[in-house]
Chains A and B, each alone.
Chain A
C-alpha cells in the first residue's frame, strides 16, 4: 500500500512541478499513439466499410485476416516492423528504425485491424434494407457511405477508443522498433518497464498512473461525444 501511495504522491509531484522529462515522455506517447490512431482511422474506416458492403471472392479470407489482426500480439507487430525497417531490410533505406516514425508504423499495424474490424461490424449490423431505403431517398454512393458511417457512429467511436487504448498501452512493439531512447523514443510504457527493472517503483507507478489518467481522459471525452449524439 505504501508503495502505491508513494507512487501517487510522486506522480502528482512530477506533474505539478512539470518535470520536463516526464512531460516529454507523456507528450511523445500522445503524439505517437495519436498519430497511429489517426492513420488507422483514415485507412481502417474506408477498408472496413468496403469489406462490410462489398462481396468479392476472397472476402472471407480478408475478414479472417482482419479479425486475426485485431488480436495481433504487439511483439509480433514489433518484430515484423523491425524486419521491414532493419538497415538491410526492404525498407531499410528510409532509416526509420529507432525513431518515433517507426513506432507510429508499428502501432498503426496494431490499430488498423481493430478500427477496420469495428467499422466492418458496425456497418455490417445495419439492416441491409435501410441501405436500400437510403438509395431510394436519392443518395449518391458517397452520401450513402456517409449516412451509413453516421448510423454506425457508436461502434465507430468504440473503434477509436479500442484502437487508441490498444496502442497507447502496448509496450512490446514500441520497445522493439523505438528502443526506449531517452528524449527520443521513450514513451510511458517503455519508461515504466525500464523504471520497474531498475527498482524505481515509485517512478514506475507515477508513470502508470499518468498513463491510466491519459487513457481515462481520452475515453471519457470520446464516451461523452458518443453519448451526446444520441437523441433522447
Chain B
C-alpha cells in the first residue's frame, strides 16, 4: 500500500450553488513536496484549508496516516500540522513570542520551547530579530518568522499557501533557497499551493494542476511540465512550443500530423482526422546548419529561418520559422560558433518521441 500521510476522498466544497472543489482522490506521500498549481479562483486556497482541517468540506472525507478523521474533534490532528499563509499573520508581540506560540498552545515545557525556538530562529537567520515586534518587520523577515513559527512545531504536514507571492524578487529568492535547504534536510511533508510555475518546478516532487476546482493532472513535476494532459493544462503550465495540427495517418504508433504546410512525425494513440495539439520542449530541439544530414535518429527535420534571438546569458532562446514557430535553446557558445543571427537559415530537428500529442478540444 502506498504511504500516504494525508488523503482526501470524494472531496466536495460548495458555496451556494457554486462548486469550488470537486476532487475524487488526492493523496499526499510521506516526505514529498506536493505543489498544487492553478490560476486565481481555481480553488487552491480552499483545498489547502480543507486539507489543513481549517474548513469543513461539503462532502467527502480525509484520512491522516491511514486513519479516517472524525470531524468532531480535529484539534489533535491540527496540532500535528502547520500552515503558513500568503500574509505572515504575526501576533502583536515579539518575534520570539510569535515563534514560541504553537509550542505554548501545545503546553511544551518552558526550557524545551526556549531551546527549539532558538534553533529555528537560527535556521531562518532571524536570531537577531528575536526581541523585535512582529509588526515592525519587513515582508521577508515577517515571512521568515511565520515559517519558523510553523517549522518549530515539527509538523507531519506543512501547508504553504502562496507564501512567497507578496515578496519582492531578491527577498523571495533568498527565502526560497533557504526553505528548500531546510525542507530537504528535515524531509518534511509539504503541500504547497501557488500560481507560480517556477516555484512549482523549484520545489515540487510532484505537481497537481487544479483548474476550476478539479484536479486535472497529478504527476511527477517533470512529467507535468513535459507532458501536460490537456490543452488548458499545457496553457497553464506554460509549454513554450504549442503546435496545432491534424492527424493524417497512423503507422505502427507513429503519427503523421499535418501542421500548416509541413508534416510532423510523433508518437501517439490518436486516430486519423483527429485535431491534436503538439507540445515540444525547447531543449529537445536541435539546431544545425543546412547541409547533408548528420544521419541522426531524429525523424523530424525542418528547414527554416531564424526570426528572433533572445539572449539569456549562457543560453540563447531562438525562434525558428519552419512552417510553425519553433522555440529552441542553444548555448551561447554554439550559437556564436554556428554564426547564428536573425535571418540565418537553419534546420530544426527533433525526435518523434520528444513530441507530446494531446487531443485538442477545438
A127-B89, A129-B89 known; A143 and B78 CB under 8 Å? no
Q: Is the CB of A147 within 8 A of B133?
A: no
For B256, list chain A residues within 8 Å (CB). Answer: none
For B101, list chain A residues within 8 Å (CB). Answer: 137, 147
For B72, list chain A residues within 8 Å (CB). Answer: none
Q: Can you identify 20 A-B contacts, CB atoms within 8 angstroms?
A: A127-B87, A127-B89, A130-B89, A130-B91, A132-B49, A133-B85, A135-B54, A136-B78, A136-B81, A137-B82, A137-B105, A138-B78, A138-B105, A140-B75, A147-B91, A147-B101, A151-B92, A231-B92, A231-B93, A231-B94
Interface size on A, residues (CB 8 A): 19
Contact with B along A114-158 (1 / 0, CB 8 A): 000000000000010110111111111001000100110000000
For A138, list chain B residues within 8 Å (CB). Answer: 75, 78-79, 102, 105-106, 153
Contact with B along A202-232 (1 / 0, CB 8 A): 0000000000000000000000000000111
Q: Is the CB of B78 within 8 A of A135?
A: yes
B346 to chain A, nearest CB (A): 53
Q: Is the CB of B133 within 8 A of A136?
A: no
For B93, list chain A residues within 8 Å (CB). Answer: 231
A139 to B74 Cα, complex, angstroms: 11
For B228, list chain A residues within 8 Å (CB). Answer: none
Q: List 3 A-B pairs, minimum CB-CB distance, nearest first.
A: A136-B83, A138-B79, A231-B133
For B136, list chain A residues within 8 Å (CB). Answer: 232
Task: Beyond A129-B85, A136-B83, A137-B153, list 9 extra A-B contacts (CB 8 Å).
Answer: A136-B54, A136-B81, A136-B82, A137-B82, A137-B101, A138-B79, A139-B105, A151-B91, A231-B93
A116 to chain B, nearest CB (A): 22
For A132, list chain B residues within 8 Å (CB). Answer: 49, 54, 85
Q: Does B149 contact A (CB under 8 A)?
A: yes
For A139, list chain B residues within 8 Å (CB). Answer: 105
Q: Is the CB of B54 within 8 A of A137?
A: no
Main secondary structure of the interface of A (DSSP, over half): helix
A130 to B134 Cα, complex, angstroms: 13
Find residues 39-88 in chain B having any chain A CB closer than 8 Å to their own CB. Answer: 49, 52, 54, 75, 78-79, 81-83, 85, 87
Contact with A along B92-116 (1 / 0, CB 8 A): 1110000001100110000000000
For B102, list chain A residues within 8 Å (CB). Answer: 137-138
A50 to B54 Cα, complex, angstroms: 20
For A231, list chain B residues within 8 Å (CB). Answer: 92-94, 131-133
A130 to B85 Cα, complex, angstroms: 10
A127 to B86 Cα, complex, angstroms: 14
Query: Nearest chain-B residue to A133 (Cβ)?
Result: B89
For B91, list chain A residues within 8 Å (CB). Answer: 130, 134, 147, 150-151
Find residues 97-128 in chain A having any chain B CB closer than 8 Å to their own CB. Answer: 127
A231 to B159 Cα, complex, angstroms: 29
B17 to chain A, nearest CB (A): 21
For A147, list chain B residues within 8 Å (CB). Answer: 91, 101
Find residues 280-299 in chain B having any chain A CB closer than 8 Å to their own CB. Answer: none
A151 to B97 Cα, complex, angstroms: 13
A122 to chain B, nearest CB (A): 12
A168 to B75 Cα, complex, angstroms: 44
For A130, list chain B residues within 8 Å (CB). Answer: 89, 91
